[in-house]
Amino acid sequence: MGKATLLNLLRLKLKIALPLLGFLAVINGLWSGSLLMLVSHKISGTPLPFFNEYDWLIYLIFVLVSFLLTYFFNGYMIKATLIFGKEMTLQIIDKLRLSNYESYLQMGEARVRTALEDVHTLESLPAVFITFFNSLIMIVAGLGYMFWLYPKGALTIVALIIVLTLIYIYRNGIIEKDMDAKRDLDDTFMRFYNDFLHGFNKVKMSTKRSDSIFLEHITENRDKAINLNIKAGLSAFGNELLGDYFFYFLIGTVLFVLPLVFSIDKTVISGFMITLLFLMGPIAILINLMKSVIGYKIAFARINEFNDTLTDNLNDSDALPLSTSKKELQVFKTLSIDKISYQHIDEKGDVTFELKPINLEISKGEIIFISGSNGSGKSTFINLLSGLYIPKSGKIVVNDLIVTDDNRSQYRDMISCIFSDNYLFTENYDNFNLLPSNKHLAELLKKMKLDKVIRQDEESNRIFQNLSSGQQKRLALIYSVLEDKEVFIFDEWAAEQDPEFRKYFYENIIPDLKSKGKTVIAITHDDAYYKYCDRLMKFNYGEMLVQDQLV
């Protein structure tokens, strides 16, 4: 995804947009200049320098051509911008899914959501751009007509407009800084809001926490944001007011100053006055649109920044074309973990947790249980083993083939994971056969005692998921079995199950997977069932200890 700019937007998909824009500029320039000339000469009673007898026809032709061209160009711009928004949205999501997992965690959900909001902001650009462009052309045509009438007087007006423009540029710089700071606050607010929604049960469980997140974080953030918005709004209003009253200054210059400084007749004064009245609308429009333009500029900058962040993290085999995907890892035989280590690093660059080098050999059909206290490194190890984290040192070898950036996605395709915070998708993205006619599915649902709980949507081939957390884990296990991968990783699957299903998991499900030659690695604290594993690994303060089978 290239840099997001207005030029790229115009070039996107519809290459005719740029030539059409130039043609529109010429027509609008001719139309505006001709209209001014026609009105000025008609008011002053002087004939046109050309085609005076067909002045009405010239007027009609320019009106029709300008109307039709503006209509068709606006249609092209709307189409181009909506395509641009679609492409940007899809490419952001595409790059996000191809970036590594650690980068996503560091970036956070809030930043992703606000990036898509930036894209949505740019989708409102066509109408604003057309209005801005037409107003700019009309101003250029009006000034051109002034130069045709009296160059010295036109230079005086242009000089005054340049002074006003410089004042605007300075004031808009301040407005842009305020709006950019407000945008940072919006990112932070989205993070607070996500915490509020995703942790709502925890918010309800503590008055102190509830007051803190609402009063000290959300309310304080919105107060700062509204103050910046008020400041930027007042500055923008000041610009508008300055522009409005600047016209009175220009009119006074034409009526009182120019006749004293230059020897000009009433026809020129009349032409200048008509032109200024003609320009009041376009200049006022440009002034009013400045805040929107600043918003678009910030959106472009933030999308490019987000795009650069994603591009820097496309170091995974997911980013390779399907034609280059390697198939050597399709069959699992052995897995060797050779001195892999990992460090969690905060925003300041400090190491907050270190998983020390680990050596481990795993064979096909082996059952391994992992135990350890919270913060001991179990989940970090699981993320490394599953290929979500990339080791800081060491290597993972599968079937004598080293797992690298070139084949890491194929390695992950061998593994089915149920994480402790497992999320059930609302759609059947894996294209499982979830219809009642699937006997294997019906058998699994019955074993998990979900056959009378779930509702199957035959039309959409999916299962409605209004289930308890324990039932959701059971449904996730069914999906995992349907995946039929070589390796299964379960992160405290039984923790939310009642004693009956906890026992069923260890005494039936795991032995059944072993009998089919599947390899199972499970994090568990259920020491009563350690006898069902081939090996027990215990983690303690970032180190892994190997213990024998417990009988």
- Residue labelled with tokens 């058998």: 443
pLDDT of residue 322: 44
Give the other-Cβ count within 10 Å of 145's Cβ.
Answer: 23
Distance, CA of 169 to CA of 164 (rounded, Å):
9
pLDDT in tens, 469-487: 889 999 999 999 998 989 9
pLDDT in tens, 328-348: 566 788 999 999 999 988 777
- Residue labelled with tokens 């390796």: 487
Given pLDDT bands bounded at 50, 70 and 90, which one contains residue 262? confident
User: DSSP state, 48?
Assistant: P
What are residue 391's phi and psi, to 5 degrees? -60, 145
Q: For residue 209, give both structure tokens.
A: 């926490």
Helix pair 109-122, 55-98: axis angle to 10 deg: 170
pTM for the predicted model, two decimal places: 0.71
pLDDT in tens, 89-118: 887 888 888 778 887 887 777 788 888 888
Burial (CB count <10 Å: 0-12, 13-18, 19+), residue 157: buried
pLDDT of residue 324: 46
Higher-confidence position of 414 and 38: 414
| Helix residue ranges, H only, 340-394 | 378-385
Say if CB 253 and CB 246 are below 8 A apart.
no
- Residue among 415, 421, 370 at smallest CA distance from 396: 415
Distance, CA of 396 to CA of 394 (rounded, Å):
7
Report whether pLDDT(147) > 70: yes
- Residue among 415, 413, 407 at smallest CA distance from 317: 407
Say if CB 296 and CB 381 are below 8 A apart.
no
Residue range 312-328: mean pLDDT, rounded = 52
- Cα–Cα distances (Å) from 208 to 196, 202, 213, 217, 219, in that order, read 14, 11, 9, 13, 15
Report whether pLDDT(512) > 90: yes
Most confident option among 108-117, 133-142, 272-281, 527-536: 527-536
- Residue among 183, 165, 351 at smallest CA distance from 242: 165
The separation between CA 150 and the C-alpha centre of its own chain, rounded to angstroms, equals: 52
Given pLDDT bands bounded at 50, 70 and 90, which one contains residue 320? low
